[in-house]
């Protein structure tokens, strides 16, 4: 069974848990969902899976090449210790991939997609990048050198990814001793927050001990409610722009910079860094947490229905595509993926059509609910 097929089988579970979380929030009087945001977060997850069909062979191929020609050992796949050790070591590699994804502009340009949602719920977990293939594979090559077979990489990577789904919720509070060892909802809420206190913290995937060891841990403080999103807000439901806007911004700064050194540094400095001459001529407003407003253009009832219908059609088409993709020719794969993308783009267009008609008539404060906060 292929990775995409496993995701297809897991999808009903994802949606069941989303429904349960929504009902719990509704019953508690602190719902954390908005239709437009949830649809577009899930749509970006769908797009990520579509792109993965075309890029997984590159990433896995590079890993296999290193394993075949540069591994120090060849670890057997019939020992449980290899699988447990592989999962722990993968999680360590993920920590550093994740940390670089927040501290190096080029990697942030890919990872930013996951943080663009200004809500925090289980649909946010499905919001994944379509450009992670650009450099994510680099961080797992140490596993190939140490002799972990490609099969181990693929399976423990999937386990690590699926584990992280449940931590994207505001409906589960602090979990005592569990929070000290594992990535849990409280820890991961901090990771998604843009507050000064929480920025660039808690990178762990399954284990939070990596953050404690490497100085990036920050506990959730009940006196400082998490505010979600990014410091350079997307303010769009366009899935293509969500994936490319940071690359476009960096390319523009690179073009405008006078110094060749600065042209290179744009891509590898901390996200948000800009050459002094560029920042002076084309300034951007400083981030002010108190003035941030959630992107929430109003939708009519008809627009909501249309967006849901288009989304369901795209989701059903994606299910069939991922299940049978290995049987299709490249031309058929490209055609099917393009059609699904068009439907996802249409969902976003319907959700934000009011933006082009007028200034928002409804503005809501950016942020989220702490467990127990009304």
Say what the pLDDT of residue 291 is.
Answer: 81
DSSP for 290-352, please give it: GG-EE------HHHHHHHHHHHHHHHHHHHHHHHHGGGS-HHHHHHHHHHHHHHHHHHHHHHH
For residue 59, is pLDDT > 60?
Answer: yes
- Give the distance from CA 125 to its chain's centroid: 7
* Rounded Cα distance, 147 and 124, in Å: 34
Query: pLDDT tier at 360 (50, 70, 90 boundaries)?
Result: very low
Average pLDDT along the chain = 92
Q: What is the pLDDT of residues 299-342, one digit of tens each?
A: 999 999 999 999 999 999 999 999 999 899 999 999 999 999 99
Residue 193 bridge partners (DSSP)? 228
Say what the pLDDT of residue 24 is.
Answer: 97
Residue 228 bridge partners (DSSP)? 193
For residue 358, is pLDDT > 70?
Answer: no
The answer to whether 185 and 172 are in contact (CB under 8 A) is yes
Say what the pLDDT of residue 352 is.
Answer: 87
Residue 244's alpha-carbon distances to 51, 109, 135, 239, 241, in angstroms, are 14, 8, 15, 9, 5
Say what the pLDDT of residue 373 is.
Answer: 40
* Rounded Cα distance, 283 and 332, in Å: 45
* Rounded Cα distance, 264 and 271, in Å: 13
Query: pLDDT tier at 4 (50, 70, 90 boundaries)?
Result: confident
Best CA proximity match to 90, nearest among 207, 252, 212: 207
The answer to whether 14 and 122 are in contact (CB under 8 A) is yes
What length does the chain have? 374
């Amino acid at each position: 069974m292929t990775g995409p097929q496993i995701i297809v089988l897991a999808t009903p579970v994802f949606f069941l848990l989303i429904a349960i979380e929504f009902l719990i929030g509704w019953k508690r009087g602190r719902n954390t969902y908005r239709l437009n945001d949830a649809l577009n977060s899930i749509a970006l997850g769908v797009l990520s899976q579509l792109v993965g069909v075309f890029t997984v062979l590159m990433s896995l191929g590079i890993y296999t090449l290193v394993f075949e020609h540069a591994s120090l050992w060849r670890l057997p796949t019939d020992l449980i210790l290899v699988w447990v050790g592989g999962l722990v070591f993968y999680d360590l590699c993920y920590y550093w991939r994740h940390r670089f994804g927040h501290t190096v502009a080029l990697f942030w340009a890919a990872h930013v997609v996951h943080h663009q949602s200004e809500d925090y719920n289980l649909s946010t977990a499905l919001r994944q990048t379509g450009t992670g293939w650009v450099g994510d594979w680099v961080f797992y090559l140490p596993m190939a050198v140490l002799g972990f077979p490609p099969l181990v990489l693929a399976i423990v990577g999937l386990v690590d990814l699926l584990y992280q789904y449940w931590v994207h919720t505001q409906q589960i509070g602090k979990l005592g001793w569990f929070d000290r060892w594992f990535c849990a909802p409280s820890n991961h809420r901090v990771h998604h927050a843009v507050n000064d206190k929480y920025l660039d913290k808690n990178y762990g995937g399954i284990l939070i001990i990596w953050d404690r060891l490497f100085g990036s841990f920050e506990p959730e403080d009940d006196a400082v409610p998490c505010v979600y999103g990014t410091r350079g807000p997307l303010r769009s439901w366009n899935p293509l722009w969500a994936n490319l806007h940071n690359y476009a911004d960096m390319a523009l700064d690179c073009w405008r910079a006078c110094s060749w050194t600065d042209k290179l540094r744009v891509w590898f400095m901390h996200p948000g860094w800009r050459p002094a001459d560029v920042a002076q001529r084309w300034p951007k407003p400083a981030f002010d947490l108190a003035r941030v407003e959630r992107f929430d253009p109003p939708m009519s009832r008809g627009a909501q229905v249309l967006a849901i219908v288009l989304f369901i059609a795209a989701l059903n088409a994606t299910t069939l595509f991922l299940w049978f993709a290995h049987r299709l020719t490249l031309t058929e794969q490209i055609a099917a993926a393009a059609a699904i993308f068009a439907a996802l783009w249409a969902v976003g267009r319907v959700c934000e059509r009011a933006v082009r008609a007028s200034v928002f008539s409804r503005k809501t404060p950016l942020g989220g609910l702490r467990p127990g906060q009304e």
